[in-house]
Homo-oligomer: A and B are copies of this chain.
Amino acid sequence: MDKQTITIYDVAREANVSMATVSRVVNGNQNVKPVTRKKVLEVIERLDYRPNAVARGLASKKTTTVGVIIPDISNVYFSSLARGIDDVATMYKYNIILANSDGDDVKEINVLNTLFAKQVDGVIFMGHRITDRIRAEFSRSRTPIVLAGSIDPDEQVGSVNIDYKQATKDAINLLAKNGNKKIAFLTGALLDPINGQARLQGYREALEENGIEYNEGLVFESHYSFEEGLKITERVKTSGATAAFVVNDDLAVGLLDGLLDLGVKVPSEFEIVTSNNSQITNMVRPRLTSVSQPLYDLGAVAMRLLTKMMNHEEIEEKNIILPFGIDEKDSTK
């Protein structure tokens, strides 16, 4: 495959030492006399020897590779997480195998299995919904797994999230304080635990605390996209809502543009709070007020947690909650 592979054996022969000794110097084992080490290092340099990580993986049962299953890397929300994951992975000398699942159950299972086949040392999983089938696959293997920005009520594996329920409550409170009585809730699939459970519950609780009655007609189930936001605008407006909490930035921008196109003034006539505070929220005019999630950190902390699990380190808490904020900008009064 390579020009002509130089193996550890070649180095050993040239340096007049055993393979074991070469292996020791390559792996930084201290039990090597400095003179020997120097000699070996010279030969390695001279022959341009590069250790074969596959052979190493087979012999040591460690691949220094972790799998990352992600719905869609071209979505900023996930790519921000991914960047945090990769940076910490690199820091700890791991590489990541990245695989898109489109949130599809079958794809998730397939890719999880090929990752296991490739003997990854750990897996970071992002998905809207943890199905029973996936959960079953999780428990089939001993490979450590961490969810990032994804909730599993079961809490079998590690996870890193924010308190979506409280974040939603804070957002709704802001909107209620500003005098809104009819606050729409724009979400993706309500089947997803983050939406259907955490956020929707936060929405309902906040309404109640503000003396506003819950009205199903103000809950809109849509998809995470700009176009869907544009499309749903009419219905939202017709509902009589004067404000909306949106779970996704693309969707929120769609709503914003839809409203502006209709001649509705934001925020004077309609207020919007979105959820991810991605850069797009600063690029549109008016800039969108948003829950601010530490996306990069969500990924970074998830990977850090995974390294601990892979090293069998003591873990204080395997279901981590990171702080969030509310970034008030121009789409709220």
Q: Contacts A1-B142, A53-B118 hold; do A74 and B80 have CB atoms under 8 A apart?
A: yes
Task: Answer whether A97 and B65 are a contact pair too, CB < 8 Å, given A53-B119, A83-B72.
Answer: yes
Q: Is A279 an interface residue (CB 8 A)?
A: yes
Chain B residues closer than 8 Å to A280, beta-carbon distance: 280, 283
Asked if residues B83 and A74 are in contact (CB atoms below 8 Å), the reply is yes
User: Which of A79, A143, A250 has the largest count of B CB atoms less than 10 A from its CB?
Assistant: A79
A220 at the interface (CB under 8 A from B): no
**CB pair A79 B74 closer than 8 Å:** yes
A141 to chain B: closest residue by CB: B2
For A107, give the chain B residue with the smallest CB separation. B90
Q: With the chains together, A50 CA to B113 CA distance in Å?
A: 9
Contacts of A95 in B (CB 8 A): 97, 99, 114-115, 118
The reply to whether the CB of A6 lies closer than 8 angstroms to some CB of chain B is no
Give the CA-CA distance A253 to B281 in the complex, in Å: 12
- A138 interface hit (Cβ, 8 Å): no
**Which residues of chain A in 95-134 are interfacial with respect to chain B, using CB atoms and an 8 Å cutoff?**
95-100, 113-119
A100 and B86 in contact, given A2-B142, A50-B117, A54-B118 (Cβ under 8 angstroms): yes
List the number of copies, as a whole number: 2
Segment 132-151 of A: residues with Cβ below 8 Å from B: 141-143
Given A95-B114, A116-B50, verify A253-B283 contact (CB < 8 Å). yes
Q: Is A61 interfacial (CB 8 A cutoff)?
A: yes
Distance, CA A283 to CA B75, complexed state (A): 15
Establish whether residues B282 and A226, one from each chain, have CB atoms under 8 Å apart when the complex forms.
Answer: yes
Assess the A99–B118 pair: CB atoms within 8 A. Answer: no
Residues of B within 8 A of A118 (CB): 53-54, 65, 95
In the complex, A21 has a CB within 8 A of chain B: no
Taking residues whose C-beta sits less than 8 angstroms from the other chain, chain A's interface range is 35 or more
Q: Do A79 and B73 touch across chains, with their CB atoms under 8 A apart?
A: yes
A196 CB within 8 Å of chain B: no
Q: Which one of B57, B143, B284 contacts A283 once the chains associate, using CB atoms below 8 Å?
A: B284
A261 CB, min distance to chain B CBs, angstroms = 9
Check: A76 CB closer than 8 A to any chain B CB.
yes
Question: For chain A residues 1-55, which have a beta carbon within 8 Å of chain B?
Answer: 1-3, 50-55
Closest to A229 in B: B283
Q: Which residues of B contact A119 (CB under 8 A)?
A: 1, 52-54
For A55, list chain B residues within 8 Å (CB): 58
Instruction: Choose among A1, A80, A143 the residue with the greatest number of B CB atoms under 10 Å from its CB.
Output: A1
Closest 5 CB pairs of A and B: A98-B98, A74-B83, A53-B118, A53-B117, A79-B79
| Additional A-B contacts beyond A58-B58, A73-B79 (17; CB < 8 A) | A2-B141, A2-B142, A2-B143, A3-B141, A72-B83, A74-B76, A74-B80, A74-B83, A76-B76, A76-B79, A83-B100, A95-B97, A96-B99, A98-B98, A257-B285, A283-B283, A284-B285
